[in-house]
Amino acid sequence: MPRELDWTRTGGAGDPVPCVLCGKPAICRSPKGTPVHKVCAEAWVEQQEQARKAVA
């Protein structure tokens, strides 16, 4: 099941700059200030979890 990230209190917004994952313009910022789409971040988390399960 995909994980839904909640950035309502810690995420931010700014001028459009390339998303670190897909390269398309993103106004969203991760809680650490990295420009990334929320959907891209959620997909990345899911991929990391699947890779970790495959190794275990």
**Site of tokens 């991929």:** 47
Model confidence band, residue 55 (pLDDT cutoffs 50, 70, 90): confident
- Read off the pLDDT of residues 2-53 as tens digits, 9 standing for 90 and up: 678 777 777 778 899 999 999 999 998 888 889 999 899 999 999 999 898 8
Which two tokens mark 33?
């200030």
**Site of tokens 């993103």:** 26
One-letter amino acid for residue 25 of the chain = P
Q: What is the pTM of this model?
A: 0.78
* Per-residue pLDDT at 30: 86
Nearest to 8 by CA among 27, 26, 28, 34: 28
List, in order, residues 6 or more apart from 42 with CB less than 8 Å away. Answer: 2, 3, 4, 5
